[in-house]
A and B are shown apart, each in its own frame.
Chain A
């Protein structure tokens, strides 16, 4: 393989994915790939924390859910009382504005959680992040005026985008949504790659390897961790926004711990701390549920997930991608 081809290789994959709707125009296949894609974006963002900073953040779904609610609320509009007879009213906004708002709000909460949680490490950090997502779920359940609580936000408009020759149009078709998710996934991938290959990324890797050493040579550990947390949360927020406008309903269950676990499994299986890990893991665990639908009981499927998680952590702790890479280099 010559160098030029090798440089182009990473682009062949998204290009091939982009051709899927043309080659296999089956709407069910596209629906499955689109929802898998949304979770892959979530996994890519989680990988930044889990893989590159080594912080086991188990409240990641909080940012996903925040993004979903922010984007949905921005595009539906709301009118809430904030006490003292004051009200905040927002008219329905275009969906792309909601998308940007989702990134900003999720990123903001990423900063907040970072300030709070990075003061502690290990088990404390894990538990604080879990509790963070739980509290958000409780708020979503009970702040009915804003979130509709368990009645869920419904009739969320589909994503709309400016398309050449058509102006701003809502994306109804499966293929359009598929390309949108693919596009955002590629962007998220590039953002994470740029970040980990920058000075910030090298600092993160240094502190993952040995935090006290990194601290002693003057790396501002918390500062870098918070940058990673903000970027990670922002990308998760973007995924949440895509989710809201694709599924077109958001309810407090988007904050469930099980979704974090799904993203964690994707990252671990694929290979944490590798750029392609979450993509590979995400494709596997994003597609399995629909392959198994109707063939195995849903409980059996989750038992399988659990077993896979245990086996990977115990016997292939670095994940599939590094294992394949070492196989290849040995060959």
Chain B
């Protein structure tokens, strides 16, 4: 009995020891993304972005004269697995820096572990404001908060005709959806727009008829939809079916790409807040970088619309590698300190961190750009 057990333990312990043994050549960067489960579509796009950034950077000679190795772990769209994936990356693979974890819920689940293991993480997608205000000095976010997105959006209000007078919200029932409804309400109310009702849906809901019928009763002219890309597609399609008859604006930077091949009938235009519009790389803040990213992606034959989210992984990788370069060594504390000095151009614009949260334990927050894409019968145009 004892013999068998110690064998089992030995087989468990060996990989960990072995990895520690040859931590010689490549510099490891850990990434946790939802590769399976409810939000797998977006997670895979972001992971792909990081993969091509790794290739591009390695072709340019890596960093500190060493190649880069991206170690990707699946958090299975689940906070418990998010924690497990980080324990594996930090304790077994000994990565000095992390990128993750798509959803705010997963990122929040991981955050205590960052303090415990003293490893910095670049947050590429999560939008909940409490991620950077919780006083976690290991968190550096390149994604915009819902509040930043809302304020940036409200500066573009004049582009809509007829003008918005009253708005309603259809939000997925989590940090992302509820946060967006709250922050957009505040930002739009400040511009004198009336706020109607907020309907919520569970992330796995497919039939949204009840919510849409309820929203139809409102006298608002615009509905803001905040959810993952699959449910966004369902909401847009079912809005036609229920004759919602209102302008739809989606938030969060996802784009319902399947509506390009299967367009909605005429007269059902929708608007999408994006952080990168791959149809127009020349309009990006740094066209050369955007073009490289877009070309590399297309070379792989990946879905074109995935570019709208893949840039997050690409920019996160650029940020992390720049920090390693500035730190001069692949060590967690040095990378954390160096992240504050990062100042590089990315696909979405300039990346640099400003301090947020309680004094003494601030998190880093980047100020990103937004653009509004109009989708009309399967055709896209920038507003």
Residues of chain B within 8 A of A12, CB atoms compared? 2
Q: Provide the bound-state CA to CA distance between A62 and B312, in Å.
A: 37
Q: Provide the bound-state CA to CA distance between A31 and B116, in Å.
A: 13
Residues of chain A within 8 A of B87, CB atoms compared? 28, 31
Q: Is B202 an interface residue (CB 8 A)?
A: yes
Q: Is A35 an interface residue (CB 8 A)?
A: yes
Known contacts A249-B108, A253-B79, A299-B36; A16 and B5 CB within 8 A of each other: yes
A150 touches B175 (CB 8 A): yes
- Residue interface mask B93-125, A partner, CB < 8 A = 1: 000000000001100110110001000000000
Selected from A20, A151, A172, A249, the residue in CB contact (under 8 A) with B175 is A151
A155 touches B112 (CB 8 A): yes
B36 touches A298 (CB 8 A): yes
Q: How far is the CB of B110 from chain A (nearest CB, A)?
A: 9
Selected from A24, A151, A247, A293, the residue in CB contact (under 8 A) with B80 is A247
Q: Provide the bound-state CA to CA distance between A154 and B116, in Å.
A: 15
Q: Provide the bound-state CA to CA distance between A110 and B227, in Å.
A: 36
Q: How far is the CB of A75 from chain B (nearest CB, A)?
A: 14
B12 touches A253 (CB 8 A): no
Q: Is B141 an interface residue (CB 8 A)?
A: no
Residues of chain A within 8 A of B105, CB atoms compared? 150-152, 251
Residues of chain A within 8 A of B203, CB atoms compared? 150
Q: How many residues of B contact A (CB 8 A)?
A: 39
- Residue interface mask A263-304, B partner, CB < 8 A = 1: 000000000000000000001000100110110001100000
Q: Is B8 an interface residue (CB 8 A)?
A: yes
- A residues 227-241 with Cβ under 8 Å of B? none
Q: Is A79 an interface residue (CB 8 A)?
A: no
Q: Which of B70-78, B161-169, B319-327 interfaces with chain A?
A: B70-78
Max chain B CB contacts within 10 Å: which of A16, A28, A31, A142?
A28
Q: Is B13 an interface residue (CB 8 A)?
A: yes
Q: Is A200 an interface residue (CB 8 A)?
A: no
B88 touches A28 (CB 8 A): yes
Q: How far is the CB of A31 from chain B (nearest CB, A)?
A: 5
Selected from B78, B88, B91, the residue in CB contact (under 8 A) with A253 is B78
A29 touches B174 (CB 8 A): no
- A residues 147-200 with Cβ under 8 Å of B? 149-152, 154-155, 172
Known contacts A141-B202, A172-B116; A293 and B73 CB within 8 A of each other: yes
Q: How far is the CB of A304 from chain B (nearest CB, A)?
A: 15
Selected from A35, A155, A291, A294, the residue in CB contact (under 8 A) with B84 is A35
A298 touches B1 (CB 8 A): no
Least CB separation from B80: chain A residue: A247
- Residue interface mask A14-28, B partner, CB < 8 A = 1: 001000100010111
A293 touches B88 (CB 8 A): yes
A13 touches B1 (CB 8 A): yes
Q: Is A248 an interface residue (CB 8 A)?
A: yes
Q: How far is the CB of B38 from chain A (nearest CB, A)?
A: 10
Q: Is A32 an interface residue (CB 8 A)?
A: yes
Q: B-side binding surface: helix, strand, loop or mixed? A: helix
Q: Provide the bound-state CA to CA distance between A32 and B8, in Å.
A: 13
Q: Is B60 an interface residue (CB 8 A)?
A: no
- Residue interface mask A295-324, B partner, CB < 8 A = 1: 000110000000000000000000000000
Selected from B5, B83, B174, the residue in CB contact (under 8 A) with A249 is B83
- Residue interface mask B1-20, A partner, CB < 8 A = 1: 11001001101110011000
Q: Is B173 an interface residue (CB 8 A)?
A: yes
Q: Provide the bound-state CA to CA distance between A247 and B109, in Å.
A: 8
Q: How far is the CB of B131 from chain A (nearest CB, A)?
A: 10
B13 touches A151 (CB 8 A): no
Task: Kindly state the interface size class of chain A when it binds its partner.
Answer: 35 or more
A291 touches B12 (CB 8 A): yes
Q: Provide the bound-state CA to CA distance between A155 and B51, in Å.
A: 32
- Residue interface mask A52-64, B partner, CB < 8 A = 1: 0000000000000
B80 touches A253 (CB 8 A): yes
Q: Is B92 an interface residue (CB 8 A)?
A: yes
Residues of chain B within 8 A of A24, CB atoms compared? 9, 13
Q: A-side binding surface: helix, strand, loop or mixed? A: helix
Least CB separation from A158: chain B residue: B112
Residues of chain A within 8 A of B178, CB atoms compared? 151
Residues of chain A within 8 A of B92, CB atoms compared? 28
Residues of chain A within 8 A of B112, CB atoms compared? 154-155, 248-249
Selected from A29, A172, A254, the residue in CB contact (under 8 A) with B9 is A29
Residues of chain A within 8 A of B134, CB atoms compared? 155
Q: Provide the bound-state CA to CA distance between A123 and B16, in Å.
A: 45
Max chain A CB contacts within 10 Å: which of B36, B79, B178?
B79
Residues of chain A within 8 A of B128, CB atoms compared? 151
Known contacts A141-B202, A150-B174, A150-B203; A31 and B109 CB within 8 A of each other: no
Residues of chain B within 8 A of A28, CB atoms compared? 16, 87-88, 91-92
- B residues 214-255 with Cβ under 8 Å of A? none
A26 touches B202 (CB 8 A): no
A26 touches B84 (CB 8 A): no
- Residue interface mask B170-181, A partner, CB < 8 A = 1: 000111001000
Residues of chain B within 8 A of A32, CB atoms compared? 12
Least CB separation from B2: chain A residue: A16
17 further contact pairs, Cβ within 8 A, besides A28-B92, A254-B80: A28-B16, A31-B87, A31-B91, A149-B173, A150-B174, A150-B203, A152-B105, A152-B108, A154-B108, A155-B112, A172-B116, A247-B83, A253-B78, A290-B84, A298-B36, A298-B76, A299-B36
Ranked 10 nearest A-B pairs via Cβ: A28-B91, A150-B174, A249-B109, A28-B92, A151-B175, A31-B87, A27-B91, A154-B108, A248-B112, A24-B13
**Which residues does B use to contact A, with CB under 8 Å?**
1-2, 5, 8-9, 11-13, 16-17, 35-36, 73-74, 76, 78-80, 83-84, 87-88, 91-92, 104-105, 108-109, 111-112, 116, 128, 134, 173-175, 178, 202-203
**Which residues does A use to contact B, with CB under 8 Å?**
12-13, 16, 20, 24, 26-29, 31-32, 35, 141-142, 149-152, 154-155, 172, 247-249, 251, 253-254, 283, 287, 290-291, 293-294, 298-299
26 A–B contacts from the bound complex (CB under 8 Å) = A16-B2, A20-B9, A24-B9, A26-B91, A29-B9, A29-B12, A31-B87, A31-B91, A141-B173, A141-B202, A142-B173, A149-B174, A151-B104, A151-B128, A151-B174, A152-B108, A155-B134, A247-B80, A249-B80, A249-B109, A251-B109, A290-B84, A290-B88, A291-B12, A293-B88, A299-B36
